[in-house]
Amino acid sequence: MSSYLLFKGKQLGVYAKSVTKLLFFALITGALGGLIGSAFHHSLEFANAAFDSNTWMIWLLPLGGLLIVASYSLTHMLESGGTNDVIDSIRSGRHLRLIVAPLIFISTFLTHLLGGSSGREGAALQLGGSIGVQVGKRLHLGDRDLHLLTLCGMSAFFSALFCTPLTAVFFGIEVVSVGVMYYVALLPCIGSSLLAYAIATALGSHPISFTAVMPSYSPDLLWRVAILSVLCAAVSIVYCITMRETSKGFKKLFPNPVARILVGSFVIIMFTYLCRSNDYNGAGMDIVYRAINEGTVHPSAFLWKIVFTAVTIGCGFKGGEIVPTMFIGATLGGLAGPFLGMDPGFAAAVGLVAFFCGSVNCPVTSILLSVELFGANALLLFAPSCIISYILSGNFSLYHAQKIVYAKLQAEWINRPAK
């Protein structure tokens, strides 16, 4: 009996040592994520405010594009796949280079400063992934632990940028393989995310918050939410296809990256003057606030944001696609809501969450996002909207590196790349 207890005690000791070591490294990653992520957050806030006050700077967009191409060319990163490289690195033996971090930081800042339409999550995931790997390498960790620290870095930077710590944890874990979640990463990722969140808020970052009142569950409201969710799933497919085909089209028509980004710059400038509005440049979070808090949207806003974002990312500018999904989903929901007899502000909130889910295939993340953004009062309405959008968006995704491991409509292992 004593030998058995001794054996179990040794096993417990080894287990505790392993968990403590990994959590310690995750907290180091979280601290870096909080500090650098907070600096990145404030730099993008400055960039968007500077552009709003000096819209003439859009004429400098071609120059910014040349600087981005030059920096990626000098570092031999022109063929970088962005967020797809981060997803690939988690399931493969390849690791992200440290140079990814400063490159994506500077190029995303320039994109926002000069009026390109992009988000920030792509930068967050690339910053987090590259720094998480470098922390692990310098601590001489094995490949499996390096992959976990990549996820920790992703969670930390996402948390610092969006101030949604639970969403940050599950997004990194859920986005890699649809239908499979890396539960082993839960403890280190939540430690990393919460520490990054604490540091970011201490340094002046604020959680996204809305003043619109969310309704309680009712069967009458549920079917209206379901119809809106079907619409969001359909438009999310259009968005994913548009993003992919625009990028392919630019590369086919303009093989030279300099020509590609210059042409894209002038297309964005032309569209900006055609719209007679700067609503579709930059992140556009003010439009999201207006749609949800005030219930006011321009009828074509969601379409224009799809076009602006597809051209910006497709021609070579940097950033991400998630803040645009929030813009597109909120304005789509705000437009469709009144036709469905829904309050436009609530419909915009449902649209934001459902469209996000349909675009990235992360239902658990999306449900948590709804709670962190809008509270739990309408959870029984947001959760079905996420599930419906997730199922009906099929195998389409913003990230072609994402794997659809299990089919969405039946218990079948398919392991197919996303479309």
Please give the model's pTM, rounded to 2 decimal places: 0.92
> Which of 172, 145, 175, 178 lies closest to 158 in space, CA to CA?
172
How far apart (Å, rounded) are the C-alpha atoms in residues 373 and 288? 12
Longest dimension (CA), the chain: 82
Supply the angle between the helices 257-275 and 219-253 in degrees, to the nearest 10.
130
Q: 292: which DSSP letter?
A: I
Per-residue pLDDT for the chain (419 aa), expressed as one digit of tens each? 555 555 455 556 666 767 777 788 888 889 998 998 899 889 999 999 999 999 999 999 999 999 999 999 998 887 776 677 666 666 665 666 777 778 888 999 999 999 999 987 777 777 777 777 777 777 766 667 777 888 888 899 899 988 999 999 999 888 888 888 888 889 999 999 999 999 999 998 888 888 888 998 999 999 999 999 999 999 999 999 999 999 999 999 999 999 999 999 999 999 999 998 899 998 889 999 999 999 999 999 999 999 999 999 999 999 888 889 999 999 999 999 999 999 999 999 999 999 999 999 999 999 999 999 999 999 999 999 999 999 999 999 998 888 888 888 877 777 787 87
β partners of residue 406: 413
Boundaries of every domain in the chain? 2-202, 219-417
122: number of Cβ within 10 Å = 24
Dig out the tokens for 23 from the structure: 């959590």
What does the CA dihedral 167, 171, 172, 174 come to, rounded to 10 degrees? 130
Dig out the tokens for 261 from the structure: 């980004």
Q: What is the predicted pLDDT for the residue at 11?
A: 58
Q: What is the predicted pLDDT for the residue at 15?
A: 63
Alpha carbon of residue 363 to chain centroid: 14
Q: What is the predicted pLDDT for the residue at 2?
A: 56
CB 259 within 8 A of CB 252: no
Q: Which CATH class is domain 2-202?
A: mainly alpha
Q: Which amino acid is at 273?
A: Y
Q: Which residue has the tokens 């949800």?
A: 292
Q: Do domains 2-202 and 219-417 have the same CATH topology?
A: yes
Dig out the tokens for 52 from the structure: 């709003």
How many residues in total does the chain contain?
419
Dig out the tokens for 247 from the structure: 């990028």
DSSP for 352-408, please give it.
HHHHHHHHHT-HHHHHHHHHHHH-STTHHHHHHHHHHHHHHTTT--S-TT-EEEE-S
Q: What is the predicted pLDDT for the residue at 224?
A: 97
Q: Which residue has the tokens 């199922």?
A: 391
CB 98 within 8 A of CB 137: no
β partners of residue 403: 177, 417
Q: Which residue has the tokens 């190029």?
A: 107
Dig out the tokens for 37 from the structure: 């992520």
How far apart (Å, rounded) are the C-alpha atoms in residues 251 and 389? 31
Dig out the tokens for 112 from the structure: 């926002």
Q: Give, for 415, the enclosing helix (H) or strand (E).
A: strand 413-417
Q: Give, for 416, the enclosing helix (H) or strand (E).
A: strand 413-417
Q: Which CATH class is domain 219-417?
A: mainly alpha
> Which of 381, 384, 347, 353 lies closest to 366 in space, CA to CA?
353
